Amino acid sequence: MKDKLYTIPVTEAFTEAEGCPLCAIHDKLDKESVDYMMGPSYMEGDIRMETNKVGFCEEHYLKMYHMKNRLGLALMCDTHLQEIVKQLEKGADSLKEGKKGLFSKGSKEKPEILSFLNNISDNCYICNRIKDSFDRYVDTIFFLWSKEPSFKELVKKCDGFCFQHFVLLLDRGKELMSKESYSDMVDTLVPEQIRVLKELEKDVAWFIDKNDYRHKDEPWGNAKDSVERTLKMMTGSKVE
């Protein structure tokens, strides 16, 4: 399989990742995006215009804070706060228009200021950036599956998928792939996922048995971290 620029992150993840390859892709995008925000990008006017309107989620605010670039974060916070104040001053009166009380009739159209505030509350510039790139890589998986037979062998050798990304592949694949390619993918992914889940369940069951005094002297095998691995399988998040 001859890699192209847009396929390299996908094939690397399926070749090198321990655990879910899609988690590996997402984690790499997350790190690169935080690094990008704390690099020279915060001085770029078009980037700041977007972050002023959207802001960041709690997780990414904290990740940027721990990058130790307080000045860069302060600059983004400064203009973001200015934008919020400007919009509140401009739109506060519109909040009082329309409905007069709980049961009174009035316009159901949401004031512009509420749309602006909800956008900040529900959005994150970094999350949006990651999602755009991640979606393209997921589409690349379907492309490689349909066009590159050798990619199927990489998929067969991976350690399964977290539940979230396993469902994503089945859901998006059904929408985007041909019936033949999708059927082929299901015939590969589902039995392999069942195998991984059965092995994990076996380890969890042995973890439970090991907490019975009758088995205290028997070897742990792979059971000692089985609870942590189950949580990672079900949530995609590593338990620290």
Mean of pLDDT values over 215-229: 90
Using alpha carbons, select from 162, 200, 125 the residue that is nearest to residue 13: 162
Structure-model confidence comparison of residues 106 and 161, the more confident one: 161
- If residue 150 lies in a helix (H) or strand (E), which one and from where to where? helix 149-157
Half-sphere exposure of 199 (CA within 13 A, CB side): 13
Domain ranges for the chain, please list them. 20-96+105-133
Give pTM, 2 decimals. 0.84
**Nearest-angstrom CA–CA distance, 16 and 233:** 18
Dihedral sign (CA 200, 204, 209, 210): positive
SS3 at position 217 = coil
Note the pLDDT of residue 108.
61
Contacts of 213 (CB under 8 A, 6+ apart): none
Cα 189 from Cα 183, distance rounded (Å): 10
Q: Please compute the mean of the pLDDT values over residues 58-71 and round it to a whole number.
A: 94
Q: Which residue has the tokens 């904290």?
A: 62
Kindly report, residue by residue over 116-148, the tens digit of the pLDDT. 889 898 899 999 999 999 999 999 999 999 999
Q: What percent of the chain has pLDDT over 90?
A: 66
User: What contacts 226, CB < 8 A, 6 or more positions away?
Assistant: 200, 203, 204, 206, 207
pLDDT score, position 237? 79
Mean pLDDT of the chain: 89
* pLDDT at position 157 over 90: no
Cα 193–Cα 229–Cα 226 angle in degrees, nearest 5: 105
pLDDT > 50? residue 102:
no
Q: How does pLDDT run across 18-61, given as a tens digit for each residue?
A: 889 999 999 999 999 999 999 888 888 889 899 999 999 999 99
Give the pLDDT band (50/70/90) at residue 198.
Answer: very high
